[in-house]
């Protein structure tokens, strides 16, 4: 045997397939550096399914290569699957990055937009670097992704960066496998990339757009600034006048503004930040994180009036970093829109729609292709809880515990709209779109579905939708089926979708559960409005096993905007012989009898079992709020009113029967008796939460006795109430239940489309 033959006999060659988010994240140069460092030969390339590679060399070196592949992937990579198979050694030398083969079915996910990495930040603030102070610095580990992509493959020509031709220096980095900008599609510099512009009237006379913007903010002005997914409105977060001015111009009466702080240390001055919160704040997604506010801080009260929590985020673009450094204080950073409108994302749209709000605009000439809001999360028991899933998370796929035999489009609900496309073992949940009652949001919904189906090469064969016939998402689904009779329609009950979403979020597919779905509104098969539901079953089917006692909603939707109407309905049910002389009744004496009569006659007063409406009623009764300016305001303020500590429970019992009934009127009667006895409102609010949590546990215990089910899944927007969630989970766990709650997708209607999709997959 010759020496060459002996060497060849010790060599092996392995074929690899890597699936997941492995394109546009520096995966090929990662493999290139790994292979050359281990003296392995072979090749690596991209195709429509992910990354393919072949490595040849010493078996021990290949084993090290595979181990590093699993444990040392680039920061933005998300590996779903690695497949390895042997092949004959070829005696190859050198390792090559090869061209992508054309054609085939697209399976490659797209990375979400990512916050500026430490390496790029070092360049941004290094006076000796050619990108010093350049607000568009990025590399394979950070920067825009989803918001600039028009089509796949993820090449510059299919992004909004196609308008900018790389200079010689940037091109050299782009083509160098050893450089962190190797095939980073948004690569640019001051010589060849996008540029900032600033408009103001009158002009500040300052040359630098960033410094001009900072001067405006420090002077109390309102700035419209272009982010990754759209325009924001900014103001000085330490100025009461600036915050009030922004509120008045934006017609946003009370809903809290988000704040951007330069660092965790700066945010810690006005928020209580634990390790879990810090991990969220500093993650590559850089979401808005809802945290308890410190009692004394420099943040103006008008930023979050009457709210004990505040949403904060850290800078996630180079422009944000430059602006925060120039201002040297936290700023308000809220979506660039008017109430009920989607965020403005094109320059012309922003200049038109925000002209009456902003004193000046800080923009740039890199176009945004996909309108995307900021994500919102909060920590709960050390793990993240998604409230709004958008920038930084979408459109990365969710691994779910079902297989989609046929591609599915799930159209979601009406409020907090999302849609979900699903195929094989992946569910792609869209970014948060808003409320479909708005024409512009509906246009974004339809355009988003068209963009996603093209981008991810998914042609739906099943269309899932809510049962509510008047939801625009339902009408959209029915319209698709009308135009193409080959499509299968799958109508899904709203609260079944909530629980299925929770199950999918937790990777739970086998067996049945008790589902607790508490929200504001959901279409019930019996023609009433559901929202305080106990269901039993699994993904394929669920039955209603219990619910809150239905009461009328006097005036229909008007009762949502004016919680005192729900107080009137609940008080009439709780005190059939006459309502006590309460302050809420005196405040609305001129309309009280008429509203009560409306409820009794069931004229424009649909029955509802909604937990959200029960919260509204109690909030109005104890004097928290009679009318709301944003969804859930009364319930949020009632939660924050609740005194800390244990303050006892009301003696309210679940009623047995064919369906278990939680007597909301009895709970309201107990609240009123406490109120008339002079009990502090803070104690009443606490007792209300404690009692409702106990009723949830008691109902689940009764259902377990009847069904043997020991797992409870909790979903619906009411469980955004952290106090109720904590009390309910604690009670259920003390009763030996396994409790499933949301983490990756919202418990509110933003998660409905995922639930619809997984139900459609198994029915």
Q: What is the pLDDT of residues 290-335, one digit of tens each?
A: 999 998 899 999 999 988 999 999 999 999 999 999 999 999 999 9
Percent of the chain with pLDDT over 70: 98
Name the residue with tokens 């109005």: 620
Confidence label for 205 from pLDDT (cuts 50, 70 and 90): low
Q: What is the mean pLDDT of the chain?
A: 94
Tens of pLDDT, residue by residue over 738-762, are 999 999 999 999 999 999 999 999 9
Confidence label for 121 from pLDDT (cuts 50, 70 and 90): very high
- Gap between the Cα atoms of 444 and 430, Å rounded: 11
Specify whether the CB–CB gap between 320 and 234 falls below 8 A: no
DSSP 8-state secondary structure symbol assigned to residue 539 = S
Specify whether the CB–CB gap between 515 and 533 falls below 8 A: yes
Tens of pLDDT, residue by residue over 21-43, are 998 888 988 999 999 999 999 99
Residue 692 reports pLDDT greater than 60: yes
Residue 4 reports pLDDT greater than 60: no
Residue 3 reports pLDDT greater than 60: no
Look at residue 6 in the predicted model and tell me its pLDDT: 46
Residue 201 reports pLDDT greater than 70: no
| Range of lowest pLDDT (1-5, 586-590, 628-632) | 1-5
Look at residue 9 in the predicted model and tell me its pLDDT: 55
Using CB atoms within 10 A of its CB, is residue 171 exposed (0-12), middle (13-18) or buried (19+)?
middle
pTM for the predicted model, two decimal places: 0.94
What DSSP element (H or E) covers 278?
Answer: helix 275-281
In the chain, the N- to C-terminal Cα span, in Å, equals 63
Domains belonging to the chain, first-starting first, are: 3-97 (3.30.70.100), 196-364 (3.90.870.40), 397-506+751-762 (3.30.420.360), 513-740 (3.30.420.40)
- The Cα-based distances of 442 to 342, 408, 413, 414 in angstroms read 10, 20, 12, 10
Higher pLDDT, 509 or 266: 266
- Gap between the Cα atoms of 178 and 285, Å rounded: 26
């Amino acid at each position: 045997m010759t020496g060459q033959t002996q060497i060849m006999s010790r060599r092996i060659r392995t074929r690899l397939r890597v699936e997941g988010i492995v394109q546009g994240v520096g995966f090929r140069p990662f493999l290139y550096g790994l292979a050359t460092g281990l003296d392995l030969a072979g090749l690596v390339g991209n195709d429509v399914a992910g990354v393919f590679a072949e490595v040849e060399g010493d078996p021990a070196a290949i084993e090290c290569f595979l181990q590093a592949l699993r444990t040392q992937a680039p920061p933005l990579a998300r590996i779903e699957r690695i497949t390895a198979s042997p092949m004959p050694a070829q005696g190859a030398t050198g390792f090559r990055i090869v061209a992508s083969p054309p054609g085939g079915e697209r399976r490659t996910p797209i990375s979400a937009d990512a916050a500026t990495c430490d390496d790029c930040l070092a360049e941004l603030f290094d006076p000796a670097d050619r990108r010093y102070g350049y607000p568009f610095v990025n590399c394979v580990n950070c920067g825009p992704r989803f918001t600039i992509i028009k089509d796949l493959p993820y090449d510059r020509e299919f992004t909004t960066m196609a308008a900018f031709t790389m200079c010689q220096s940037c091109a050299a980095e782009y083509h160098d496998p050893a450089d962190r900008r190797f095939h980073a599609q948004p690569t640019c510099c001051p010589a060849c990339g996008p540029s900032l512009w600033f408009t103001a009237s009158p002009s500040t006379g300052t040359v630098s757009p960033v410094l001009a913007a900072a001067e405006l903010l420090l002077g109390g002005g309102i700035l419209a600034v272009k982010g990754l997914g759209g325009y924001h409105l900014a103001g000085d977060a330490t100025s009461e006048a600036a915050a009030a001015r922004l509120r008045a111009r934006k017609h946003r009466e009370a809903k809290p503004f988000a704040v951007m702080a330069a660092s965790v240390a700066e945010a810690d001055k006005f928020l209580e930040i634990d390790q879990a919160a810090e991990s969220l704040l500093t993650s590559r997604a850089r979401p808005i994180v809802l945290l308890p506010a410190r009692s004394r801080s420099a943040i103006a009260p008008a930023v979050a009036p009457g709210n004990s929590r505040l949403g904060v985020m850290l800078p996630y673009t180079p422009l944000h970093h430059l602006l925060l450094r120039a201002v040297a204080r936290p700023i308000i950073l809220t979506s660039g829109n008017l109430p009920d409108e989607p965020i403005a994302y094109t320059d012309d749209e922003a200049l038109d729609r925000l002209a009456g709000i902003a004193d000046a605009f800080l923009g740039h000439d890199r176009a945004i292709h996909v309108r995307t809001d900021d994500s919102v999360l909060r920590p709960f028991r050390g793990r993240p809880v998604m409230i709004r899933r958008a920038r930084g998370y979408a459109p990365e796929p969710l691994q779910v515990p079902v297989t989609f035999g046929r591609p599915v489009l799930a159209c979601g609900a009406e409020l907090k709209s999302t849609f979900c496309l699903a195929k094989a073992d992946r569910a792609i949940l869209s970014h948060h779109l808003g409320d479909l009652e708005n024409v512009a949001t509906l246009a974004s919904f339809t355009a988003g579905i068209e963009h996603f189906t093209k981008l991810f090469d998914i042609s739906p064969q099943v269309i899932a939708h809510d049962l509510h016939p008047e939801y625009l998402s339902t009408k959209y689904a029915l319209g698709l089926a009308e135009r193409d009779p080959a499509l299968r329609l799958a109508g899904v009950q709203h609260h079944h979708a909530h629980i299925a979403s929770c199950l999918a979020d937790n990777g739970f597919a086998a067996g049945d559960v008790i589902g607790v779905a508490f929200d504001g509104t959901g279409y019930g098969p019996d023609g009433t409005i559901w929202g305080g539901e106990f269901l039993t079953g699994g993904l394929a089917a669920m039955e209603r096993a219990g619910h809150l006692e239905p009461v009328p909603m006097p005036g229909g939707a008007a009762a949502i905007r004016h919680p005192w109407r729900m107080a009137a309905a609940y008080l009439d049910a709780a005190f059939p012989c006459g309502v006590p002389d309460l302050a809420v009744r005196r405040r609305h004496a001129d309309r009280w009898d008429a509203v009560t009569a409306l409820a009794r006659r069931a004229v424009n007063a649909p029955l509802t079992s909604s937990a959200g409406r029960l919260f509204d009623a109690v909030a109005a009764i104890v004097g928290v709020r009679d009318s709301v300016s944003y969804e859930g305001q009364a319930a949020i303020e009632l939660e924050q009113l609740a005194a800390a500590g244990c303050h006892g429970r009301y003696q309210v019992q679940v009623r047995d029967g064919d369906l278990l009934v939680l007597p909301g009127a009895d709970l309201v009667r107990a609240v009123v008796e406490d109120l008339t006895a002079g009990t502090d409102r803070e104690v009443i609010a606490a007792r209300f939460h404690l009692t409702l949590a106990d009723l949830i546990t008691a109902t689940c215990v009764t259902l377990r006795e009847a069904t043997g089910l020991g797992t409870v899944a909790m979903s619906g927007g009411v469980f955004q109430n952290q106090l109720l969630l904590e009390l309910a989970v604690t009670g259920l766990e003390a009763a030996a239940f396994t409790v499933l709650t949301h983490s990756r997708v919202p418990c509110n209607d933003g998660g409905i489309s995922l639930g619809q999709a997984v139900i459609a997959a198994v029915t």
